[in-house]
Structure 1
Amino acid sequence: MIERHLVSTTLEIPSYRIEGSFGIVRGIVVRSRSVVGAVGASLQTIFGGNITLYTSLCERARRDAYERMVAEAEVLGANAIVGMRYDATEIARGISEVLCYGTAVHASRSP
């Protein structure tokens, strides 16, 4: 399993040397809002502030996309991911895609 500290938004990992690249890996999740969630979120907008129902939905989608990316990297034999990014697109009203991507690499501790 790829440890969390070995996934980085930078192109290097402190104290590690990149020894090889397996190429780009990604995790994609497409989610829609439920009718109940949309009604609950609409009620939260009346009072303003953080719309917790949508925050939870977004966090779940990002976590799932991240986990799929890591799983793809592990299948390739990587033990780290560099240059990790998120992207999100609204495909249709109420339907969003969340993409998590990066470069799967083999990294070893620097001496």
Structure 2
Amino acid sequence: MDIEDFGGGPSAEAEVLVVTTDDVPGRRVARVVGEVFGLTVRSRNLGSQIGSGIKSMFGGELRGLSKTLAETRAQAVERLIEQARARGANAVLAMRYEVSTADFGTEVCAYGTAVVLVDADS
């Protein structure tokens, strides 16, 4: 598996900038659009659960589950970006993740504040 399998965040071609900070150097907030979020729920795969159960007895990273979580987070961010774009924003500030697990699977929510950014000189 490649390191990209475990990465995160939107692609470089994304039309909406997503940052975990409250501001962006050289840019100012022209308009606050409001809260946006992307939510996804993934069910647990029986095969990976059995494999991870066995591996957990011996220690080490559960790479299959790590990859699934990275994919789940990426999907949540994609949905966050779609919502921001649909509401006319070009950036999401203070993006965070919330993750919860239950017997049926894992829920990941990416959320933040959608804004319209402009150059600071404008």
- The two structures have a TM-score, normalised by structure 2, of 0.82
- 1:53: which partner in 2? 64
How does 1:53-72 map onto structure 2 within 5 Å? Answer: 53-72=64-83
Query: Is residue 103 from structure 1 mapped to residue 82 from structure 2 by the alignment?
Result: no
State the one-letter code of the partner of 1:42: G
Q: What RMSD, in angstroms, separates the aligned Cα atoms of the two structures? A: 1.3
Offset at residue 16 of structure 1 (A): 0.7
- 1:24: which partner in 2? 35
Offset at residue 94 of structure 1 (A): 4.1
**Distance in 1 separating the partners of 2:37 and 2:49:** 28
- 2:93: which partner in 1? 82
| Aligned residue pairs, count | 108
**Distance in 1 separating the partners of 2:48 and 2:117:** 42
Percent of aligned pairs with the same amino acid: 34
Query: Is residue 40 from structure 1 mapped to residue 51 from structure 2 by the alignment?
Result: yes
Structure 1, unpaired ranges of 5+: none
Structure 2, unpaired ranges of 5+: 1-13
- The two structures have a TM-score, normalised by structure 1, of 0.90
